[in-house]
Amino acid sequence: MSAHFFETSARSAIGLVRQGNEDSGFVSPQLIAVADGMGGHAAGEVASRIAVEVLKSLTPALISLEIDEDSVEDLLMHSLHSIDAEISLVTDEEIEKRGMGTTLTALLIRDQYISLLHVGDSRCYRLRGNTLEQLSNDHTVIQELLDQGAISEAEAADHPQRSMLTQALRGDGDVTPVLQMYEIKKGDRYLLCSDGLSGVLTEKEIKIGLKKSDKDDAVKFLVDATYVNGAPDNVTVLIADVSDSIITTTSMLGAAHD
């Protein structure tokens, strides 16, 4: 069994504009995830639910001591293809759901490392001491333009293609798995969130919320702050502290909970 675990507080809210929640979340002692569905009437909530349910089903294998680290990495990366294939099955059978898709950002804690699996623009941040760092890289047109130096941060803020994804799980077989590895450090705090949070709050505001000692208070602060700023999208927040004690609770959030 792993010597480290996640102690997680989480919440998923509809926001003030959307009619339903297309975000899904999954919380367990060693694997946590956020998926932000897209497609509106094309059932983004179905796509995000598929993403976290596939991960949940793989959790026993991912944390098994009988499986070596390389195999775990392969299984984690292959999970994106499994999710994509499952979405494809649904859209083949139900034409009205064609066009649906989802992001996925997940953390697995095991042995000496935390693995970050990521596709889309849901984000992962790490608060280590007083330093907040965005670990995930947005798979968006805007991020590509920023990386190329073609636009400034100020221009990105209100760019018409701000939400256009370059990578997502859409059931089309066109996904490139990204897996990043980080050394475990007790006391680190991780945030997984949909862009309903990161697209509304500044990094400074996110850091203020994350620095609250009580995780439940931190989650409430961040979700409440999005509502103060109009909450134009669903918002899902998972705050996880690295701990050496195990809390066996698992839960599904948002569309996956309904």
Angle at 152 between CA 159 and CA 145, to 5 degrees: 70
User: CA angle, corner 168, sides to 166 and 169, nearest 5?
Assistant: 155
Q: Residues 197, 206: contact at Cβ < 8 Å?
A: yes
Q: How confident is the model at residue 16 (pLDDT cuts 50, 70, 90)?
A: very high
Partners of residue 38 on adjacent β-strands: 101
Q: Give per-residue pLDDT as tens, 125-180.
A: 999 999 999 999 999 888 878 777 787 777 766 666 667 899 999 999 989 888 99
User: What pTM value is reported for the model?
Assistant: 0.94
Q: Assign residue 92 the CATH number of its domain.
A: 3.60.40.10
Total number of domains in the chain: 1
**Residue 105 sits in which domain range?**
5-254
Our measurement of the distance from residue 206's CA atom to the centroid of its chain's CA atoms, rounded to an integer in Å, reads 15
Query: H-helix or E-strand containing 78?
Result: helix 69-93
* Listed residue (124, 102, 133) closest to 6, CA to CA: 124
Please tell me the distance from the alpha carbon of residue 51 to that of residue 58, in angstroms, as a whole number.
11
